[in-house]
Amino acid sequence: MSGNIELLNTALAGTKAEGRAALIAYLPAGFPSVDGGIDAVKAAFEGGADIVEVGLPYSDPVLDGPVIQTADDIALKNGLKIADVMRTVREAHEATGKPVLVMTYWNPIDRYGVERFTAELAEAGGAGCILPDLPVQESALWREHAAKHDLATVFVVAPSSKDARLKEITAAGSGFVYAASLMGVTGTRESVGEAAEDLVQRTKATTDLPVCVGLGVSNREQAAEVAQFADGVIVGSAFVKAMLDAPDEAAGVAAVRRLAGELAEGVRAKRS
Amino acid sequence: MPSDNNAFFVPEPQGQVPTPEGYFGKFGGKFIPEALVAAVDEVAVEFEKAKQDPEFARELSELLVNYTGRPSALTEVPRFAQHAGGGRVFLKREDLNHTGSHKINNVLGQALLTKRMGKPKVIAETGAGQHGVATATACALFGLECTIYMGEIDTQRQALNVARMRMLGAEVIAVKSGSRTLKDAVNEAFRAWVANVEDTHYLFGTAAGPHPFPAMVRDFQRIIGVEARRQIQERAGRLPDAAVACVGGGSNAIGLFHAFLDDTDVRLIGAEAGGHGVESGEHAATLTAGDPGILHGSRSYVIQDEEGQIIEPYSISAGLDYPGIGAEHAYLKDSGRAEYLPVTDDEAMQALRLLSQTEGIIPAIESAHALAAALRIGRDLGEDGLMVVNLSGRGDKDMDTAARYFGYYDASENAGESK
């Protein structure tokens, strides 16, 4: 069975045709429980997310701030396994027909086996992976197996990336490009960095891939602001925080649905 | 004929230069977020330039002689050696360096590099606090702003070093995530670096992490082995049968080993933290019990479960309590050139007391792991044996841990006779 890279490409072409940015939500698998995590992903789609990144929690998430660290800790303490991540991808995709990616660090995949991981992810209906600590020059093995199984390889670019390097990265990537809005780890911010628009422009100069912006976006206004210049708006910590702040799992899932609805309005704000 | 102090970067031993991508065999590389790629590349470029610049070697050598107090002594320890098979044992006295450990060798090199890069701020991780103290010291010396990340558990078991860092003007941040030890301090330092990379150098403390750190930290620590190799030949008339050092991340060990790599008759022995025993699962013996994987920016051995989650390590020694290991050690293990053996908490503590009471030298608990390994190896070598053991640091910082371990705080017991 092949992965759903085409579904991802079609979804992003669709939002572009609608003249708006895509809403991409991030939620860790296994948080607050495996089933609760699946419900949260479905709720994000129901609220209006176009694409969801399912996090595979890792013991040493050096690019994540305290909110996602806390969720990862909860998932891992509950004994989360990669099989649970695959089930999350499968059930979320089958229930909605929407593209679901996995976001994680490189060691869990390296240890699990690249072929085994990509084969299982494709079989579960996954559309691709974002691996923020696997830079392009170390990614050949991953890309070989991802391509074999029709999975997208989404690379992260940062404000510090020079133009020549952007070219190298986007040439190797597929699906879309993840543009980090600022120099920092995941977490909600008061404002989205000014560096984001410049980075999107510099990235677009090197590729036809959609360029989606993540890090720091947490509300409708910020989503609307980013949607002016990006092909997609990625929101993670705000969803996780909504779950963490909720009194119980059902309330958390409802909060995710509500937040996705607000953000979906944001990405549809008229472009000036 | 260059003296030790300006022979820093030459000659490079055969076969031990990493590839341009930073690989020693299949270990090493650069597994870092895109946000750090430009900064890490800048460090690599600046270090290559510095290596070619005689002025850099001159400045560093001047500091090592007049500030650190190099060359460090090589002390023969005959009363200790009686317990180690009856041969001859020499200690390379990195504990006598300014700040009390080998860490200052690397720190002064990287601090000079920080100045060359024009960065006003430095961050660093620390386990036992020795790297943190050395970094805070260099930052005071060079007028750099200094922030040290230290696991909360380590701030408690190494409280003296926290006070020293603060005295030197550094900010110490107690890291409360994960196992609250060295691994988590490294994670937090990386997070801080991503956010502040423009004006901040991450002064990495061990010969691990992404390229160029494993090779660069090794090059700054090579002086240990270069001096020791010359000193042992002067004193004993020959090369040793074994060179022994403790390994956490591996910087003091690679520093000692490197000058002996081409001397194939010299056994290179790394003592890992065996904690409560490797079979107990509570240890930090990465090369003995770990598997290849990626942690903190490079491929090496790591202590992990079957799905690649890092397992929290354990050691009585904060400096060895780390689930990774420098890439070059992984390479030396697989090639068979170096041997790594686990030493338990109890063995290390007994060796700590033995050296204290036979030679009047109180070692750091980290270094006591090397001493315990030397006791074992020495018994194999017998009376004709000759060993160099790296005494990587002094034990002042560990007196609280040791006093509790041996019951010295218990007034009813006679200190020195208990346990």
Task: Write the CATH number for B282.
Answer: 3.40.50.1100
pLDDT averaged over chain B? 94
The SS3 assignment for A32 reads: coil
What's the pLDDT at A249? Answer: 96
pLDDT tens track for B68-95: 999 999 999 999 999 999 999 999 999 9
Mutate which: A107, A165, A177, vs B, most B CBs within 10 A? A107
* CATH number where A64 lies: 3.20.20.70
Considering only CB atoms, which chain A residues are within 8 Å of B304? 107, 111
Side-chain-side CA neighbours of residue B110 (13 Å) = 37
Helix (H) or strand (E) segment spanning residue A92: helix A82-96
> How far apart, in whole angstroms, are the C-alpha atoms of residue A128 and residue A100?
7
Q: State how many domains chain B has.
A: 1
Tell me if B277 is assigned to some domain.
yes
Considering only CB atoms, which chain A residues are within 8 Å of B196? 183
Confidence of residue B419 (pLDDT cuts 50, 70, 90): very low
Range(s) of the domain holding residue B92:
74-99+222-406
Determine whether B392 is an active site residue.
Answer: yes
Tell me if B242 is assigned to some domain.
yes
Considering only CB atoms, which chain B residues are within 8 Å of A155? 34
Q: CB of A140 within 8 Å of any CB in chain B?
A: no
Tell me if A199 is assigned to some domain.
yes
C-alpha distance from A270 to closest chain B C-alpha (Å): 31
User: What's the mean pLDDT in A12-24?
Assistant: 98
pLDDT tens track for A43-54: 999 999 999 999
Q: Where are the alpha helices (DSSP H) in B87-179?
A: 103-117, 130-142, 152-157, 159-167
How many pairs of residues across A and B have Cβ atoms under 8 Å apart? 108
CB B344 within 8 A of CB B275: yes
What's the pLDDT at B4? Answer: 46
User: CA of A169: which chain B residue's CA is closest?
Assistant: B34
> How far apart, in whole angstroms, are the C-alpha atoms of residue A252 and residue A77?
19
Q: Long-range contacts for B55-58 (Cβ within 8 Å, ≥24 apart)?
A: B56/B112, B56/B116, B57/B6, B57/B8, B57/B9, B58/B6
Tell me if B177 is assigned to some domain.
no
Determine whether A138 is an active site residue.
Answer: no
Contact A137 B30 (CB under 8 A): yes
C-alpha distance from B31 to closest chain A C-alpha (Å): 6
C-alpha distance from B210 to closest chain A C-alpha (Å): 11
Q: CB of B291 within 8 Å of any CB in chain A?
A: yes
Tell me if B164 is assigned to some domain.
no
CB burial string A64-99: b at 16+ within 10 A, e below: bbebbbbbbbbbbeeebbbebbbbbbbbbbeebebb
pLDDT tens track for B354-382: 999 999 999 999 999 999 999 999 999 99
User: What's the mean pLDDT in B200-219?
Assistant: 96
Nearest to B309 among A58, A65, A165 (CB): A58
Contact A61 B31 (CB under 8 A): no
Tell me if A236 is assigned to some domain.
yes
Range(s) of the domain holding residue A251:
5-267
Query: Which residue in A39, A50, A53, A84 is the catalytic one?
Result: A53
The fraction of chain B above a pLDDT of 70, given in percent, is: 94
Selection from B109, B79, B105 nearest residue B93 by Cα? B105
Nearest to B294 among A107, A156, A185 (CB): A107
What's the pLDDT at A184? Answer: 87
For B45, residues 6+ apart whose C-beta sits below 8 A from its C-beta are none
C-alpha distance from A46 to closest chain B C-alpha (Å): 31
Residue B175 has pLDDT above 80, yes or no: yes
pLDDT averaged over chain A? 96
Side-chain-side CA neighbours of residue B351 (13 Å) = 26
Helix B159-167 to helix B130-142 angle (10° resolution) is: 0
Tell me if B134 is assigned to some domain.
no
Residue B414 has pLDDT above 80, yes or no: no
Nearest 5 degrees, angle CA A61-CA A122-CA A212? 55
Of chain A residues 147-206, which have a CB less than 8 A from chain B?
155-162, 165, 169, 180, 183-185
Q: CB of B171 within 8 Å of any CB in chain A?
A: no
What's the pLDDT at B157? Answer: 85
Of chain A residues 53-82, which have a CB less than 8 A from chain B?
58-63, 65-66, 69, 76, 81-82
Tell me if B212 is assigned to some domain.
no
Contact A133 B31 (CB under 8 A): yes
Tell me if A272 is assigned to some domain.
no
Contact A81 B198 (CB under 8 A): no
What's the pLDDT at B1? Answer: 34
Q: How far is CA A51 from CA A43, A72, A126, B368, in A?
A: 12, 21, 11, 55
Provide the whole-model pTM: 0.95
What's the pLDDT at A228? Answer: 95
Selection from A62, A271, A103 nearest residue A185 by Cα? A62
Residue B220 CA, chain-centre distance (Å), reads: 12
Confidence of residue B154 (pLDDT cuts 50, 70, 90): very high
Residue A150 has pLDDT above 80, yes or no: yes
The residue whose two tokens read 């977020």 is: B33
Confidence of residue A190 (pLDDT cuts 50, 70, 90): confident
Residue A89 has pLDDT above 60, yes or no: yes
Residue B13 has pLDDT above 80, yes or no: no
Selection from B109, B82, B290, B78 nearest residue B213 by Cα? B109
Residue A121 has pLDDT above 90, yes or no: yes
Beta-carbon count within 10 A of B327 CB: 32
Confidence of residue B6 (pLDDT cuts 50, 70, 90): very low
> How far apart, in whole angstroms, are the C-alpha atoms of residue A13 and residue A102?
20
Tell me if B159 is assigned to some domain.
no
Of chain B residues 205-264, which have a CB less than 8 A from chain A?
none
Contact A82 B307 (CB under 8 A): yes
pLDDT tens track for A36-81: 999 999 999 999 999 999 999 999 999 999 999 999 999 999 999 9
For A150: left if phi > 0, alpha if psi spans -120 to 50, otherwise beta; the answer is left
Of chain B residues 309-348, which have a CB less than 8 A from chain A?
309-310
C-alpha distance from A150 to closest chain B C-alpha (Å): 23
Determine whether A72 is an active site residue.
Answer: no
C-alpha distance from A185 to closest chain B C-alpha (Å): 6
What's the pLDDT at B179? Answer: 85
Nearest to B183 among A60, A61, A66 (CB): A60
Helix (H) or strand (E) segment spanning residue B305: none
Q: CB of B307 within 8 Å of any CB in chain A?
A: yes
Q: State how many domains chain A has.
A: 1
Q: CB of A1 within 8 Å of any CB in chain B?
A: no
Selection from B150, B205, B192, B195 nearest residue B174 by Cα? B150
Tell me if B348 is assigned to some domain.
yes
